[in-house]
Structure 1
Amino acid sequence: MSPRGLSADRLGRLDQIMDGYIERGEIPGIVALVSRGDHTHVHACGTMTVGGTQPMRRDTIFRIASMTKPIAAAAAMILVEECVLRLDDPLDDVLPELAGRVVLRSLSADLDDTVPARRPITLRDLLTFRLGIGAVMAPPGSTPIGTAMDEAGLAPGGIPPQLPPDEWLVRLGRLPLAHQPGEGWMYHTGADVLGVLIARASGQPLDLFMQERIFEPLGMRDTAFHVPTEKLDRLPGAYTSETNGPGLVVLDDSVGGYWSTTPQFASGGGGLVATVDDYLAFCRMMLGGGRTGSTRILSRASVELMTTDHLTAEQRSANAVLLGGDRGWGLGVSVVTRRTGLAWSVGTFGWDGGLGTSAYSDPREDLVGILMTQRAMDSPKMPNVFTDFWTSAYQAVDD
């Protein structure tokens, strides 16, 4: 594919808009990347901490949260290609904790008001988030299953599970499903189950499998499930909004925080840290049909399958709070199904991270955009800085 351009003047506009978020005190620091063809533009602004003086840099390491999900899906597809796993085989032998499921009669039903599952859970169910359980998008305490997940330490959140994987899966297996396998889309939990599955099926810890099969081949030197001591000066504090105020409070510190030590649970749903350049390497591999240069991670067929929307119209509609009106879900990634704004051609794929990150790849434009901040999202609705970044990235396309 011939190189495609980005307007230098319009990239300057992007930089100014990102700088505005720093100047207004809305976000401590930002690293924004737009890559098209042979042209990659990176703008780092602000500081590593609120009120600090250490500047944000291109090699800053961010908690990428749910941007972990596409990488975990790619890891699973490696095992599918090697015939270690199959998309539609029951997982009962590898994940016996999830065998013999029962299903709630309705999302609001008591935990003992169940019927038998009509079939076992499969790998395809995990990848498409249709295994039958996940984030309950209802007010806290309003559903028995949501309360049970909270009490068991299974509810998705900014910090990954703090349990050993086997214990986490045992607790999940004690709960009924909210939907029959394959019938309802529920966010997140399938990716954490996926991480446990990859480790068991490969015979390696998830972090080691990803390191050997994805990170090292792609040169993703700073991507991992924790930040070693010698790199902690490159990990900014993570912040969230004050409960009753305009300011920010610390969610996770760099020194002594969750990501400063090796976790018990390597979360396939949200545990990784990375730099913008590391994540660009992964996105470029996906845009290249599974290959970067002479390095092939996946087949083109796997990437095409991953980046095809697998949801029904009903499943998309029922989850508009997360997917909006323009996206579906493939295998571990969201997929744009119709264009509703300046950004994202039909077929664009990627996802956001709840701790303040966003990354999408557009095959039609040969474009990758990556936004990294250390301010957690306040709601499932895309924050203004995300929207403005994507608008600014696409208005800079020049050809």
Structure 2
Amino acid sequence: MARIAAWQQSQVDAGAFSGAVAAIARNGKVAYLRAVGFRDRAKTIPLQPDAIFWIASMTKPVTSVAAMMLVEEGKLDLAAPVHRYLPELKDMMVGVETKDPVAGQSKLALEPQKRPMTVEDLLRHTSGLVYFDHGNTAVHKLYRESGLDPKSLARDSTLKDFVSRLARLPLAHQPGEVWEYGHSADVLGRVVEVASGQPLDQFLDNRLFKPLGMVDTGFWVPPEKLARLVDPPIRAQILPDRDVTKPTTLFSGGGGLVSTAPDYLRFCQMLLNDGELDGVRILSPATVRRMTTNSLPPDIRSTSDGMGPRSDATFGLGFGVRSDAARSWVPGSVGSFTWSGVWGTYFWVDPAEQLIAIQLIHVATKFDQFTRPFRNLTYGALRAGDEGVPTSVTGPVTIDPTMLAGYEGTYTFGLSTSSRDKQALGALGGLGVDVAMEQGVVKVLSPIRGMPAAKAGIMAGDIITHLDDAAIQGLSLNQAIEKMRGPVNTNVRLRIIRKGQDGPIELPLVRARIRLQGAADLQIVNKDGHLLIEASGDLPVLDFEKGAAITVVPTSSNEFFVDGGDHTRLAFLRDGAGPMRLVLNPGPWQITGQRIN
């Protein structure tokens, strides 16, 4: 696990963030708690493990737990219309955007809800409520113009005031039909206030934080604790509602809390323990299971390509839940649940491994790039079982030099170094283009230099409409990307629309080998009749690290082991004329890599 601190320090040195705190628990015990870097952007004050971070949307699971506590007490009904508790939301309309085919102008029409928004809709983000900055539809624009932008929110306003302003706006979707991230948890916080008869901060403090011993969690940081508060990203300083150094009455259930890694670890351990910690029961086991399993119907549409029945993750009641290990780009067991905050705070709980991991950082943008390495390094520290030196070795094994030379090359293990999931390999045939789904179309963000898309003249801003005459309209982003991929050296035709061009443009391309960022690779060379192996990708792999070649000991013509460390076992396999494969720790927890050159 020392690799975690080394990687975080490399990010601090590169200026990605000023500091980081990581906490990992396994089987109910703290296995790792360490701070790296600095508390302040000027990098003058060393960061400590009990540093206080604004955890942003990691508030949402906490608010969701509060709501389910009230459900268990009979004070809140999941199936009830939200307007039972918040009458001002009863007559909210749904905004439907239409486009005049002749004039080309958009128009927003309002229609009534087909069914009322329910409390369950708030918990699973199917309420129709959205965030002002998560889309560019007419409804999103109304949210931006309404003063719901955090820059316009005062810390001396209240959740009641917020909901009243929200009630004057339309919903973006019919309740229950679309998963879209938004203000659902903020409204849920107000529901908790009404159902409990207490302000949200008091309910959380009395019923959750004090019982769990979460001594540093709340909606603001008192003066005596300010010396532990981590500097926010520069971009966050312009948001008045995020000045957590001052008391507030605007208790954002969607993003208002500050906390520490030890505090949030206790919250997660309560969930992993089926609702109980140190003799204090917060929820029943059945409620925890309900919150951390899929709550989305099979026909739900999603505005996020990473969420929903057709993706690798689904949503419970307050948590994202991993549903498909093979399609995910991060390691972990099916059933793991997680969430994150906009400035980089992140956690997940893996019940199958009895594992909790938390990483707290403050970054300005694109925090996702720091979550995958942290997960890989965490799972990479789990042993598949130390079987020690193979007992079948009775003496030195001599291998033909030609056979040894046949094992040389680079082997990729994909985007996961975990033996706990079955990952797609990180090298594949593709076009080398970064795309995103915007308003239902696949838009090119940037072509990768030297790759087929760039060579063919694809440009940022191009809209891809067809692949080999098949329209991609209606596909999810994952589905469109899968169609762009294929065997190396195979042909594909793209039809694109480019701003300033009168008609569509057709471009023929040939798929090339694409290596995904963050892939774990091993480099193997034959030197003087011995195989030397070291990590050559972005991540270490079991015993192997970059810049530290290890000589492996043969036990047969195609099997080897590391004489030290975790005694990683290796087997080189080939099926017919297919590429050479390298299997690490053959058995139920094996990791398989494929030679790419």
Deviations 1:252-305 (A, max 9, x none): 39xx97101122310000000000000000000000110113110000111011
Q: Does 1:346 align with 2:342?
A: no
CA distance in 2, matches of 1:160, 1:386: 30
What amino acid maps onto 2:237 in structure 1? D
Q: Give 2:25's match in structure 1, choosing from 18, 35, 52.
A: 35
CA distance in 2, matches of 1:231, 1:314: 48
What amino acid maps onto 1:115 in structure 2? E
Deviations 1:217-267 (A, max 9, x none): 10000000000011011001111xxxxxxxxx35239xx971011223100
2:69 corresponding residue in structure 1: 78
In the TM superposition, 1:174-189 aligns within 5 A as: 174-189=168-183
CA distance in 1, matches of 2:47, 2:288: 33
What amino acid maps onto 2:293 in structure 1? T
Q: 1:47 to 1:322 in 2, by over 3 A?
A: farther
2:271 corresponding residue in structure 1: 286
Q: 1:165 to 1:91 in 2, by over 3 A?
A: same
Deviations 1:341-366 (A, max 9, x none): 45221000020111121000000000
1:168 corresponding residue in structure 2: 162
2:115 corresponding residue in structure 1: 119
8 Å Cα contact 2:313-2:324 kept in structure 1: yes
Which structure has the larger Rg?
2
How much does 1:114 deviate? 1.6
How much does 1:369 deviate? 0.5
What amino acid maps onto 2:205 in structure 1? Q
Q: Give 2:323's match in structure 1, choosing from 321, 333, 337.
A: 337
CA distance in 1, matches of 2:68, 2:113: 26
1:97 corresponding residue in structure 2: 88
CA distance in 2, matches of 1:299, 1:268: 22
8 Å Cα contact 1:160-1:270 kept in structure 2: no
Q: 1:257 to 1:362 in 2, by over 3 A?
A: closer
How much does 1:329 deviate? 0.8
TM-score (norm 1): 0.87
CA distance in 1, matches of 2:115, 2:377: 46
Q: Give 2:362's match in structure 1, choosing from 369, 374, 381.
A: 374
SS at 1:331's partner residue?
A: coil
1:7 corresponding residue in structure 2: none
Q: 1:233 to 1:252 in 2, by over 3 A?
A: farther
Give unpaired runs (5+ residues) of structure 2: 100-105, 386-597
2:215 corresponding residue in structure 1: 221
Q: Give 2:49's match in structure 1, choosing from 48, 58, 65.
A: 58
Q: Does 1:259 align with 2:252?
A: no
**Poorly superposed stretches of 4+, deviation over 3 Å:** 106-111, 136-139, 157-163, 312-318, 321-325
- RMSD (Å) for aligned C-alpha atoms: 2.5
Q: Give 2:374's match in structure 1, choosing from 367, 371, 389.
A: 389
8 Å Cα contact 1:154-1:161 kept in structure 2: no
CA distance in 1, matches of 2:201, 2:299: 36
Greater strand proportion: 2
8 Å Cα contact 1:21-1:385 kept in structure 2: no
CA distance in 2, matches of 1:158, 1:300: 40
SS at 2:180's partner residue?
A: coil
Q: Does 1:365 align with 2:353?
A: yes
CA distance in 2, matches of 1:257, 1:89: 32
8 Å Cα contact 2:344-2:361 kept in structure 1: yes
1:15 corresponding residue in structure 2: 5
CA distance in 1, matches of 2:222, 2:369: 32
What amino acid maps onto 2:362 in structure 1? Q
What amino acid maps onto 2:72 in structure 1? E
Q: 1:310 to 1:115 in 2, by over 3 A?
A: same
Q: 1:128 to 1:159 in 2, by over 3 A?
A: farther
Give the structure, 1 or 2, with the largest relative contact order (CA under 8 Å, sep 6 or more).
Answer: 1
Q: 1:106 to 1:50 in 2, by over 3 A?
A: same
8 Å Cα contact 1:90-1:121 kept in structure 2: yes
CA distance in 2, matches of 1:35, 1:278: 13
What amino acid maps onto 2:196 in structure 1? S
Q: 1:214 to 1:107 in 2, by over 3 A?
A: farther
SS at 2:352's partner residue?
A: coil
How much does 1:325 deviate? 3.5
Q: 1:342 to 1:152 in 2, by over 3 A?
A: closer
8 Å Cα contact 2:147-2:153 kept in structure 1: no
Q: 1:383 to 1:89 in 2, by over 3 A?
A: closer
SS at 2:2's partner residue?
A: helix
CA distance in 2, matches of 1:375, 1:78: 33
What amino acid maps onto 1:120 in structure 2? P
Give unpaired runs (5+ residues) of structure 1: 1-10, 240-248
Aligned length: 373
8 Å Cα contact 1:65-1:158 kept in structure 2: no
CA distance in 2, matches of 1:353, 1:158: 18
SS at 1:60's partner residue?
A: coil
**Quick one: percent identity of the two aligned structures?**
38
